[in-house]
Amino acid sequence: MNRWLIVVLSSVVLLGSTHCTKKKDSLAAEAKVLNLAIWGDYISEETKKEFTEKTGIVVNMSNYFSNEELLAKVQSGAGGIDVAVPSDYMVEIMAKMNFLEKLDKAKIPNSKNIAPQFLHQSYDPENTYSLPYAWATAGFAYNTDLIKKDLKSWKDVLSSSDLDGKISLMDDMREVLAMALKAQGHSVNSKNPAEIKSAVELLKKLKPRIKMFRSDTVDLLLNKEVALAHAFSSSALKAMVNSGGKIKYVLPAEGDTKFIDNLVILKSAKHLEAAHAFINFLLTKEANAAFVKTIYGGPVISGVKDLLPKDLQKNEALFPSSNRLSKFEFIQDLGDATKLYDEAWTEVKTAE
């Protein structure tokens, strides 16, 4: 063989070898970082630390307080997000907008641990893009030091003048409008303009009695900044535990919303291996039990209830009866009717 050809081939091999080595080094460096976008107060520092200790992957975290805020971040091109935790209807919206990566189930063997009732939901029938992380309800919580009466429904809240200036509602379009619709006996997914208009009028009437719109409610209740807060069950239960039982969470008699929060990987993710490893870690029985004990979200892994303290096993907010839960609805993607909700929310927020 011509010696010059040998030299050229040797150079190609060397360059190829160097390129492969650099690629492996790059992948190894990428695998040490995971960028997580998640609801506020929805993962414990202990869980993040344990994942890092086991894998060497550092979790960088940013928070949002509504599904619409997450969507706005992604739409604005906010880069760097690998894993996010949208609720059910937002998974469907983000998938339709081509923002989600298909999950490689071979890299998530712990998905077999998920209780069947949380899989194959209408928003992602084959769990192509999402796997459940937690479930919860929305209702209201109040401080029994400040409110002595027993409140059981949204009707009780709306008719109690002694709550004037002491109420917070979530800063979340769908959740607030859902509350107003349910309080009037309508579906949280109503597309009826008259029903939505009626919900707006109820909220405009209520607004002078509202102290603030805010979705992170734990400190509000504990510090007695408000007496009653429209809240997710996980936040309310955390406040209840930290207050020694003085905070009470109510599943309203009329019902409200229920939801499944899901683990997804963004199409723009730069750390795919780390993203799959993180999701797989969160779907162990031990990690899900730790989540319930510290964050008080509903478990999605089979058998976790048996690992919980007796008081949590008996807690109605975590394990409501099927009859009670039947009045709670999943929020759905409303398609073109979303415009009605956008307009309604603007009218509520700008009302005097």
Q: Are 172 and 349 in contact (CB under 8 A)?
A: no
275-318 pLDDT, tens digit per residue, is 999 999 999 999 999 999 999 999 999 999 999 999 999 999 99
Average pLDDT over residues 116-142: 97
Confidence check: pLDDT of 21 > 50: no
Classify burial at 297, counting beta carbons within 10 Å of its beta carbon; exposed 0-12, middle 13-18, buried 19 or more. Answer: buried
33-67 pLDDT, tens digit per residue, is 999 999 998 999 999 999 999 999 999 999 999 99
- Confidence class of residue 16 from pLDDT cuts 50, 70 and 90? very low
- Return the pLDDT at 178: 98
Confidence check: pLDDT of 5 > 50: no
Confidence check: pLDDT of 19 > 60: no
- Confidence class of residue 80 from pLDDT cuts 50, 70 and 90? confident
195-207 pLDDT, tens digit per residue, is 999 999 999 999 9
- Confidence class of residue 77 from pLDDT cuts 50, 70 and 90? confident
- Return the pLDDT at 78: 72
The per-residue pLDDT of the chain, averaged, comes to 91
Confidence check: pLDDT of 152 > 70: yes
Confidence check: pLDDT of 166 > 70: yes
- Return the pLDDT at 217: 92
- Return the pLDDT at 28: 53
In the chain, DSSP assigns E strands to: 33-39, 58-64, 83-84, 131-143, 167-169, 210-213, 228-232, 247-250, 257-265, 329-330
Model's pTM, two decimal places? Answer: 0.85
- Confidence class of residue 352 from pLDDT cuts 50, 70 and 90? confident
- Return the pLDDT at 27: 44
Q: Give percent of the chain above pLDDT 70.
A: 91
Residue 163: CB partners within 8 Å, gap ≥ 6?
A: 147, 157, 209, 227, 228
Q: Are 130 and 251 in contact (CB under 8 A)?
A: no
Q: Give percent of the chain above pLDDT 90.
A: 89
Tokens of residue 335, six digits: 């398609």
Average pLDDT over residues 149-156: 96
- Return the pLDDT at 31: 55
Average pLDDT over residues 20-44: 71
Average pLDDT over residues 218-239: 95
Tokens of residue 240, six digits: 């209840």
